[in-house]
């Protein structure tokens, strides 16, 4: 669902921006400033930012070549195909200086989920891919057919939030299935673990399986940590960062970083016992979608928005 002011707008066919009104209103402090949208996707958030700028500048990033096709024809806008984990180098390579606002809408776009060829969803039968950057060397096919059983077990526990016993069974079932032939499609993956899936929560269970694989394929949490660690160096003092997360693993990293200045969540002290943190959380609790937005866009139900100021 798109929010423009307080008005609902028709959903974008590529991706429906989540928490648009809250994220953009909290982000824009200077309509003449330089801003960065590090997850361009369908361009919904970028369009909203440009609406609020006068002679400001917006740079957007996205590693997905499909997203580049959504570029906005505006002299105040620049779109670069890059992963946001490289934000510092990207800014150094351009001449706009440090941004006063940075937006990140994490996770997978609606387009990526709904495009069967991308292999992100268990709803469609297609090649096991799940790469956000289609040039990346590691795909879900490579992972599922080459990872050792223990490696698979660990990723289901860590990224799928499965209990150890569940992760062991999932990993063992996948290894057994591939011993009879390579796992090539999403439906073959589902079939390999079908006996372990509780039917009452089938969709939720499979979503966690696919999430775990997708996070590993794209190194999503590593990229997020890299991005967060660069924020104090690339954001202007008094600048604002708005980050939308979709699962607890992402949200925990963002919350810890805003609270302590590191992703471990431990407030560090100098030799004299003084503490220093680079950000001040503007909203102590995450902003979540209202029921109307969830009704119009069910994928927004797990979204959480955290906004912080560089101090």
In a domain, 135, yes or no: yes
In a domain, 286, yes or no: yes
DSSP 11: P
Number of domains observed in the structure of the chain: 2
Q: Are residues 47 and 102 in the same domain?
A: yes
CA-CA distances (angstroms) from residue 117 to 124, 185, 219? 9, 10, 20
The parent domain of residue 46 ranges over 2-111+220-310
CB 84 within 8 A of CB 104: yes
**CATH code where residue 203 lies:** 1.10.150.170
In a domain, 149, yes or no: yes
Q: Are residues 82 and 225 in the same domain?
A: yes
Q: Which pLDDT belongs to residue 181?
A: 95
Q: Are residues 148 and 11 in the same domain?
A: no
Q: Are residues 84 and 67 in the same domain?
A: yes
- Rg of the chain over CA atoms, in angstroms? 20
Answer with the one of 188, 217, 246 that is the final residue of a domain. Answer: 217
Q: Which pLDDT belongs to residue 90?
A: 97
**CATH code where residue 264 lies:** 3.40.50.150
Q: Are residues 207 and 231 in the same domain?
A: no
- Digit-coded pLDDT (tens) for 149-206: 999 999 999 999 999 999 999 999 999 999 999 999 999 999 999 999 999 999 999 9
Q: Which pLDDT belongs to residue 10?
A: 38
Walking along the chain (311 residues) 10 residues at a time, the average pLDDT comes out as 31 70 96 97 95 97 94 97 97 94 92 89 96 96 98 98 98 97 98 97 97 98 98 97 97 96 86 83 95 92 97 94
Measured CA to CA, the distance from residue 191 to residue 188 in angstroms comes to: 5
In a domain, 116, yes or no: no
In a domain, 236, yes or no: yes
Q: Are residues 248 and 285 in the same domain?
A: yes
Q: Which pLDDT belongs to residue 273?
A: 73
Measured CA to CA, the distance from residue 185 to residue 191 in angstroms comes to: 10
Could you write out the DSSP letters of every residue in 222-233? HHHHHHHHHHHH
In a domain, 167, yes or no: yes
Q: Are residues 81 and 226 in the same domain?
A: yes
């Amino acid at each position: 669902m798109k929010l423009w002011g307080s008005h609902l707008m028709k959903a974008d066919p590529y991706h429906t921006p989540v928490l648009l009104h809250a994220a953009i209103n909290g982000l824009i402090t200077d309509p003449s400033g330089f801003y960065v949208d590090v997850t361009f996707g369908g361009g919904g958030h970028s369009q909203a930012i440009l609406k609020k700028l006068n002679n400001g500048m917006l740079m957007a990033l996205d590693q997905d070549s499909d997203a580049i096709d959504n570029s906005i024809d505006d002299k105040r806008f620049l779109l670069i195909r890059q992963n946001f984990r490289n934000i510092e180098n990207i800014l150094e390579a351009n001449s706009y200086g440090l941004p006063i606002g940075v937006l990140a809408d994490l996770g997978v776009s609606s387009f990526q989920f709904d495009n069967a060829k991308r292999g992100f969803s268990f709803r469609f039968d297609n090649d096991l891919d799940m790469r956000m950057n289609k040039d990346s060397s590691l795909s879900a096919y490579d992972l599922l057919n080459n990872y050792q059983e223990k490696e698979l077990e660990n990723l289901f526990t860590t990224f799928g939030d499965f209990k150890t016993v569940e992760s062991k069974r999932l990993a063992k079932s996948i290894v057994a299935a591939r011993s009879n032939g390579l796992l090539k499609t999403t439906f073959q993956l589902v079939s390999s673990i079908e006996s372990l899936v509780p039917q009452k929560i089938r969709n939720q269970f499979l979503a966690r399986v696919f999430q775990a694989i997708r996070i590993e394929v794209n190194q999503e949490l590593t990229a997020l940590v890299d991005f967060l660690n660069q924020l104090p160096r690339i954001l202007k003092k008094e600048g604002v960062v708005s980050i939308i997360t979709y699962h607890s693993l992402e949200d925990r990293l963002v919350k810890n970083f805003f609270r302590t200045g590191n992703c471990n969540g431990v407030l560090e002290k100098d030799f004299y016992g003084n503490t220093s943190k680079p950000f001040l959380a503007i909203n102590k609790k995450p902003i979540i979608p209202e029921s109307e937005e969830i009704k119009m866009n069910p994928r927004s139900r797990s979204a959480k928005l955290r906004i912080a100021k560089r101090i």
